[in-house]
């Protein structure tokens, strides 16, 4: 059981988050607040917006309207945000034609890790 976190700052806050697609699909007016120690699972039928919501929360998509705050900032391109996020998908996310090292380097680079920290985060051992 998790300790009460009501007095702790929220690490992730989504306010009126919307991502609309043609044909009326997407996610609409999502409100979510997560504090330290909380874990969320997203379940629903195919086409209900689970992947869209996770992409928005993981900085991989831009909302049509609304806002997300990660660790106190609303800047989705802030490398410190992407370094602290973790997302677990139901399918492997790698390129078969690349080595393990190349995949690690590529994804670390995509999430804002550069220079010495990129080398440290992708070396083996």
Per-residue pLDDT of the chain (125 residues; tens, 9 = 90+): 444 545 567 899 999 999 999 988 899 999 999 988 888 888 888 889 998 999 999 998 999 999 999 999 999 888 888 888 876 666 667 788 888 778 777 877 776 766 666 566 555 44
pLDDT score, position 32: 95
What's the rounded Cα separation, in Å, for the pair 57 and 70? 9
Give the distance from CA 91 to its chain's centroid. Answer: 16
Tell me the domain boundaries of the chain: 1-90, 92-125
Handedness of CA 97, 100, 105, 106 (dihedral sign): positive
What's the rounded Cα separation, in Å, for the pair 101 and 95? 11
For the chain, the DSSP string reads -PPP-TTSPEEEEEEEEEEE-GGG-EEEEEEEEEETT--------TTSSHHHHHHHHTTSS--SEEEEEETTB--TT-HHHHHH-----SS--S-TTS-HHHHHHHHHHHTT--HHHHHHHH---
Task: Give the CATH number of domain 1-90.
Answer: 3.40.50.300
Sheet harboring 26-35: ordered strands across? 26-35, 10-20, 65-70
């Amino acid at each position: 059981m998790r300790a009460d976190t009501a007095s702790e700052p929220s690490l992730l806050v989504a306010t009126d988050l919307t991502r609309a697609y043609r044909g009326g699909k997407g996610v609409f007016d999502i409100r979510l607040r997560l504090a330290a120690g909380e874990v969320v699972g997203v379940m629903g039928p195919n086409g209900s917006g689970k992947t869209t919501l996770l992409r928005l929360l993981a900085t991989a998509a831009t909302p049509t309207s609304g806002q997300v705050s990660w660790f106190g900032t609303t800047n989705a391109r802030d490398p410190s945000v992407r370094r602290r996020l973790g997302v677990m998908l139901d399918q492997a996310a790698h390129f078969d034609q690349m080595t393990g090292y190349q995949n690690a380097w590529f994804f670390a680079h995509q999430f804002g890790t550069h220079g010495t920290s990129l080398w440290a985060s992708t070396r083996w051992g």
